[in-house]
Amino acid sequence: MNLFLNQILAIVWKDFVTELKTRELFSAMFIFALLVILIFIFSVNLSVVKASEVGPGVLWVAFLFSGTIGLNRSFMLEQENGCLMGLMLVPADRTAIYFGKLISNFIFLSIMELFILPLFMIFFNIDILEHLLPLLIVIFLGTLGFCALGTLLSSLASNLKTREIMLPILLYPLLIPIIIAVVRMTGQILNGEPLSEMMNWIGLTASFDIIYIGVSIMTIDHILEE
Residues that bind another protein (CB under 8 A): 3, 6-7, 9-11, 13-14, 17-18, 21-22, 77, 80-83, 85-93, 225-226
Nearer to another protein, 82 or 118 (CB): 82
Alpha carbon of residue 17 to chain centroid: 20
Residues counted in the chain: 226
Give φ, ψ of 217 to 5 degrees: -60, -40
CB of 6 to another protein, least distance (A): 6
| Residue 180, CB-side half-sphere exposure with 13 Å CA sphere | 8
Say if residues 69 and 147 touch (Cβ distance below 8 Å): no
CB of 147 to another protein, least distance (A): 21
Say if residues 154 and 71 touch (Cβ distance below 8 Å): yes
Nearer to another protein, 105 or 205 (CB): 105
Nearer to another protein, 24 or 197 (CB): 24
CB of 55 to another protein, least distance (A): 37
Nearer to another protein, 82 or 203 (CB): 82
CB of 81 to another protein, least distance (A): 5
18, burial (CB in 10 Å: exposed 0-12, middle 13-18, buried 19+): middle
